[in-house]
Structure 1
Amino acid sequence: MRIATPLLAGLLGLLSLQSHAADLTAQLTQFFKARDPAHAAGMTVVVRTPAEQWPQCDVPSFSLPGNARMWGNISVAANCDQNRRYLQVQVQVTGDYVVAKRQVPRGKALEADDMAIKRGRLDTLPSRAMTSPQQAMDAISMRDIAPGQPLTLTMVRQPWRVKAGQNVVVIAQGDGFSATGEGRVLNNATATQPVRVKMNNGQVVSGKADADGNILISL
């Protein structure tokens, strides 16, 4: 029995470590699923940090910086009272994403026939990959896009709602106040982007384009 004792202790220690690993992975998985419920069903979390660097409490509190990415390799702060450890994890996500169905030339407004849906690992895609065709509908391609290439938000821009030289209606609104006028746009802008307008009286004002091509000014 004395000979077997070290072996038994080692086995018990191994089982304890495996149990702790399972608990930590389960807690991290729940944390990330709550952060991104839309992809929870296809999510797997893998802890890359060695076990000896893990937090020592049973239920650590997790936190992320405000600019943390949704998937892929992420650093998570694990807090046990005043003791903080940083864990390197890989958040693997399977889901739908958008690819070019055919060659899309630069400057083209994307249509439904230009896009297709594929399913795969979202965390391995380029940054800001599109997961819905609605994100690209009517957007203008800023580069040539090859068939099968994943679409990203950086590949497109929203269509211009107003263009430089265009005559527009300017709507100024404040607390209990509303007035309209006309002027000429000095710069291109998509919806909600800042616009400078030269009014018919020569005054230059700043506002934002709306979806209908009007310029809104808040007073």
Structure 2
Amino acid sequence: MPGFQIPSISFTVAWWRRGVVAVLGAVALGAVAQPQQSLEQVSRDWLQGAVPQGGQSQDLPLRMEVEIGRLDPRLNLAACARMEPYLPNGSKLWGRTRIAIRCLEGSRLWNVFLPVTVKAWGPAWVLSNNVSMGETLEMQDATQSEVDWAAETASVIAQPEDWVGQTAARPMMAGQTLRQGMVRPPLQFRSGAQVKVLAVGNGFVVTSTGQAMAAGGQGQTVRVRMDNGRIVSGTVNAQGDVVVGQ
């Protein structure tokens, strides 16, 4: 039987950010293809159907681009009258991934995996210059540009209020897209410092002090060793206090 040859193809669709969640649930079982379709057509049609055509409003729309790769050229698949694409366990339609296609009707049944790259183009902030670890980021340090959100696993930091005034968690280079884990709040105190601890309950606040077991910034969770030796965990507030409880 002649083998299938599939060239690399790509197409684009409009996709809203929240559509990603819908895709991952909706395509788990796949949709059965019509008889006599080629593997290339089955793959393309299924992917186009798996990607929502908008439908859910979001402040930051993404322009999706799907690239279908090639099967292993050593494969020699038997002719198949009915094929079913599906999303393998552990795979996501995001970044470099894969889909599976199985033959349901043919002289010899088979199941293959096809490499796919899903790009999600949208607005993000790109560094204009190099930034040293611990340096506080200011508005002029980055410019807005269209980037592929799916190029890395870490989420893009899309809003300026989420990075302006934050400090670099590591050295960063000009041209890098700002993503989660690259910035952190400015330190309110360092490890070993005496900090105020606020134990908050229903209608009461108890104030005490303890020794911070790690450096902390606003919004971060830190552990504090109290004077009696007990260790508590709380969230650093804007004043540099550690709030324990609700």
TM-score clears 0.5: yes
The match for 2:18 is none
Distance 1:197 1:80 in 2: 62
Distance 2:96 2:237 in 1: 38
Paired residues for 1:30-179 under 5 Å = 30=52, 41-48=62-69, 50=71, 56-57=83-84, 62=87, 65=90, 71-76=94-99, 86-124=113-151, 126-128=152-154, 130-132=156-158, 133-174=160-201, 176=202, 178-179=204-205
- TM-score, with length taken from structure 2: 0.59
**Richer in strand (by share):** 2
1:122 Cα offset (Å) = 3.5
- TM-score, with length taken from structure 1: 0.65
Shift in CA distance, 21/130, structure 1 to aligned 2, threshold 3 Å: closer
Deviations 1:36-64 (A, max 9, x none): x777641022333649699824xx66465
Counting matched residue pairs gives: 196
1:117 Cα offset (Å) = 1.2
Shift in CA distance, 91/218, structure 1 to aligned 2, threshold 3 Å: same
Tell me which structure has the larger Cα radius of gyration: 1
Which structure ranks higher in relative contact order (CA pairs < 8 Å, sequence separation ≥ 6)?
A: 2
Distance 2:175 2:142 in 1: 9
Whether contact under 8 Å (2:83, 2:101) holds in the other structure is no
* 5+ long unaligned stretches in structure 1: 1-14
Q: Note if 1:197 corresponds to 2:236.
A: no
Deviations 1:148-186 (A, max 9, x none): 333343433332244335443322245x47441221332
1:109 Cα offset (Å) = 1.0
* Matching residue's letter, 2:231: V
Distance 1:214 1:24 in 2: 53
Report the aligned-residue RMSD: 4.2
Whether contact under 8 Å (2:166, 2:183) holds in the other structure is yes
The match for 2:242 is 215
Shift in CA distance, 148/34, structure 1 to aligned 2, threshold 3 Å: same
Shift in CA distance, 112/195, structure 1 to aligned 2, threshold 3 Å: same
Shift in CA distance, 203/120, structure 1 to aligned 2, threshold 3 Å: closer
What is the aligned counterpart of 1:180 among 206, 209, 231? 206
* Matching residue's letter, 1:97: A
**Richer in helix (by share):** 1
* 5+ long unaligned stretches in structure 2: 1-35, 105-109
Whether contact under 8 Å (2:68, 2:116) holds in the other structure is yes
